Chains A and B, each alone.
Chain A
Amino acid sequence: EVQLVESGGDLVQPGGSLRLSCAASGFTFSDYNMDWVRQAPGKGLEWVGRIRNKANTYTTEYAVSVKGRFTISRDDSKNSLYLHMNSLKSEDTAVYFCSTRWLGDWGQGTLVTVSS
């Protein structure tokens, strides 16, 4: 059974940084691209970004709203995905989900609150 468990969500001040993690199990992590998707409180889904697998040289794609501030990385030896968030803004407040297998499997999400 595929399991994705996000962690690292917290309250952070505007301009601050945070790193989210996603621990994966139940599938061959290294074979798959991984995505981050977020959902602001009471709002819709927003795709954040993707990191491809090793076969595709770990290349990344990002939403315009986070490009240059967020970085996605992965550690295949630890079956883990990361989202490094810098220069955080109030509009980054959201539940952040990790997802895989072409958005077929999702974690439960972790809440990031950006507020002073």
Chain B
Amino acid sequence: DVVLTQSPLSLPVTLGQPASISCRSSQSLVYSDGNTYLKWFQQRPGHSPRRLIQRVSNRDSGVPDRFSGSGSGTDFTLKISRVEAEDVGVYYCLQETYWPYTFGQGTKLEIK
């Protein structure tokens, strides 16, 4: 299976400050069609996961533009430009290039 390694696993951030989460893959996530199938999800406490970003950098409808995704090959990053209180939760990356799909371990974002 493809292993996704997220860092850090815990991310204390001051309100209004930026945050960055890394997701590294054990192999390139570039599919044979040229696309890279890497998604980001947010899971707020007590809630179901919410998709934030598809194919590395495409933000879902309704997702604030302070969230952005970037990266290529095996290295990917989710950035929050200015953290707000509602951003508290756990963030996961997911690869869909290979079967079976695999998630990263999750990064817990909290307010410092």
Interface residues of A (CB under 8 A from B): 37, 44-47, 49-50, 61-64, 97, 102-104, 106-109
> Are B101 and A47 interface neighbours, CB within 8 A?
yes
A103 to B102, CA, bound (A): 13
Interface residues of B (CB under 8 A from A): 1, 39, 41, 43, 48-51, 54, 60, 90, 92, 94, 99-106
Tell me the smallest distance from the CB of A5 to a CB of chain B, in Å.
Answer: 12
A45 to B101, CA, bound (A): 11
> Are B51 and A47 interface neighbours, CB within 8 A?
no
A46 to B106, CA, bound (A): 11
A44 to B90, CA, bound (A): 9
8 further A-B contacts with Cβ under 8 Å, apart from A61-B99, A102-B51, are A44-B92, A45-B106, A47-B94, A47-B102, A49-B100, A63-B101, A103-B49, A106-B48
